[in-house]
Amino acid sequence: MHVLFLSPDTHIYNHGFLRGMKEQGLRVSAIGPASRDKLSKQAKLLLDDYRACPNVLDLKAMKAAAKELAKPAFDRIETIDEPLVDPAAALREHFDVPGLSLKTAKLCRDKVAMKAFLREHDVPCALSESIDSTAAAKEFAEQSGYPLIAKPIDGFGSLATYRCENEKELDDALAKLKPSKKRPVALEEFIEGHEGFFDTLCDDDGIRHEFVSHYYPGCLEAAKERWISPQIAVSNRIKEGDYDELQQMNERIIKALKLRNCATHMEWFFGPKGLKFGEIGARPAGEKIWDMYGIGNEMNIYREWALAILGKPSLEQPSRKYAVGSIQIRPDRDGRYHGHRGIDAAWKHCGDAIYEHAVPEPGTKTLGLDRGWLVNTWFRLKHKDYDRLREMMTFLGENVRAIARS
């Protein structure tokens, strides 16, 4: 079988998915923005053929590059990068390849259309609207009230996402987002409550594997305050925990959107208004979160992804042995690292529970908070007890300090 993979070298994370396919004996070709000589050594070893396309969002150029590689014809076309979900679906349609349809891909990228569609299928969602002008935004604000969330319709994560408490903050957000008829903006009712995500791996019949995770605190709050050490906690209590309502909602969404032979990443909120759907992406979670699923469940999660994509039987089931966590310790300012406090105490308190970490050396340049979770100083931990895992991550957040100099 021959698989085309879009953007194979965005991050080392992508290589796990390439490896999962190669383990199935597949021929793997790829298209990406870098020239062949700029590919990483790992990507070169995992790819059978490659074409560069400087603008991977240019569908005409992508079709031309793919045509050169389609010998033999493609059996699957895949990506794990959110902006390429639409182009991958368009290429599937063009080359008549099975997989996620263009219609579903567009629904998963357009946050407003997605919520409108899912409301029709009894999925509880925040009020939302696509707006193309300041006047339209003000009209929506009058109807829904504040606070509001303003963000790109096809955005992902918390990038360029703003919480607006009043008209002035809405004006500030709109000045940055610049809504227009060509590129409208999504406005949403702000949902108060705890935030997490629910990820699945779907095969021909629907959900094959599922995983539930929590944010502490929510993404917007974490992005706004430098002193916060944000946590992701992957629960190993999905079977015995109080997740029935969440599982049922996710299953309803997967069925409504006809998501098959793909990974999904769904964000959710639970608060005074009950359980609410946030959004869903038709791709794996970023930030090497699938590595955490593999560690916590003692399974080759990338091989399982490839098997589900191909419609082949699963070889493993999640063990749910470990809860797994990721915490980032932010530098106290932008600049260069001067040192850290509390590292010895961290190892003494957490010990072998820390299975992966990064502590930049003095003199290393700090990276912006918008670069994600696995930059600057961070730790990843595992433990059989979820509560103990959370306690250790909180200890790290309260006791480890990253000191920088401007």
What's the pLDDT tens digit per position in 63-82?
A: 999 999 999 999 999 999 99
Q: Which runs of E-coded beta strand occur in 69-193?
A: 76-79, 128-131, 148-152, 162-164, 185-189
308 contact partners, CB below 8 Å, separation of at least 6: 201, 202, 203, 208, 209, 261, 262, 263, 314
Helix (H) or strand (E) holding 257: helix 244-257
Contact 293, 304 (CB under 8 A): no
Distance, in Å, from the CA atom of 132 to the CA atom of 145, rounded to the nearest integer, reads 19
**What would you measure as the largest C-alpha separation in the chain, in angstroms?**
57
Query: Domains along the chain?
Result: 2-98 (3.40.50.20), 100-116+192-321 (3.30.470.20), 127-189 (3.30.1490.20), 323-406 (3.30.470.20)
pTM of the model: 0.92
154: pLDDT strictly greater than 90: no
pLDDT at 206: 96
Q: Which of 283, 299, 288, 323 is nearest to 87 (CA)?
A: 283
Q: Which runs of E-coded beta strand occur in 304-398?
A: 323-329, 336-341, 354-358, 377-383
99, exposed or middle or buried, with CB in 10 Å at 0-12, 13-18, 19+? buried
pLDDT at 159: 65
Q: Which of the four pLDDT bands, split at 50, 70 and 90, describes residue 156?
A: low
Tokens of 90: 């368009």
155: pLDDT strictly greater than 70: no
pLDDT averaged over every residue in the chain: 95
What's the pLDDT tens digit per position in 117-138?
A: 999 999 999 889 999 999 999 9
213 contact partners, CB below 8 Å, separation of at least 6: 196, 197, 198, 199, 232, 233, 234, 235, 289
Distance, in Å, from the CA atom of 299 to the CA atom of 391, rounded to the nearest integer, reads 25
Q: Mean per-residue pLDDT for 340-368?
A: 97
Q: Mean per-residue pLDDT for 81-94?
A: 97
Q: What is the DSSP string of 133-146?
A: SHHHHHHHHHHH-S
pLDDT at 87: 97
158: pLDDT strictly greater than 60: no
DSSP-derived letter for residue 192 is P
What's the pLDDT tens digit per position in 320-343?
A: 999 999 999 999 999 999 999 999
Which of 12-26, 86-100, 143-157, 356-370 is predicted with the least confidence, judged by mean pLDDT?
A: 143-157
